[in-house]
């Protein structure tokens, strides 16, 4: 993941915010060969800010019956 506009060193001091930031960046801008962690995604599902269409697609993958 390449990010030049955010101070990731400062974000790393708060692991929860850093984890959400990484998930949002990977989902919105590409995984860059890294797989998403299902447990992290489920943990932060209600707090991450992602594209609505991507959210719908991921929701169908994570919880197919709902």
Is residue 21 one of the residues assigned to a domain? yes
- Into how many domains does the chain fold? 1
Q: What are phi and psi of 36, to 5 degrees?
A: -75, 145
Residue 43 structural domain: 8-62
pLDDT band, residue 1 (cuts 50/70/90):
low
Indicate the angle between helix axes 52-62 and 15-29, nearest 10 degrees.
100
Is residue 3 one of the residues assigned to a domain? no
Query: Quick check: 3 and 28 in contact, CB under 8 A?
Result: no
In terms of Cβ atoms closer than 10 Å to its own Cβ (0-12, 13-18, 19+), residue 31 is: exposed
Q: Mean pLDDT across the stretch 59-65?
A: 91
pTM of the predicted model, to two decimals? 0.80
pLDDT, residue 6, reads 84
pLDDT, residue 39, reads 93
Contacts of 42 (CB under 8 A, 6+ apart): 62
Is residue 38 one of the residues assigned to a domain? yes
Is residue 2 one of the residues assigned to a domain? no
Q: What is the pLDDT of residues 6-57, one digit of tens each?
A: 888 999 999 999 999 999 988 988 888 889 899 999 999 999 999 999 999 9
Chain centre distance of CA 22 = 5
């Amino acid at each position: 993941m390449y990010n030049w506009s955010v101070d990731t060193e400062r974000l790393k001091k708060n692991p929860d915010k850093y984890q959400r930031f990484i998930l949002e960046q990977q989902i919105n801008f590409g995984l860059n060969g890294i797989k998403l962690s299902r447990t992290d995604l489920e943990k932060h599902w209600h707090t991450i800010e992602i594209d609505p269409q991507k959210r719908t697609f991921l929701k169908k993958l994570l919880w197919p019956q709902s």
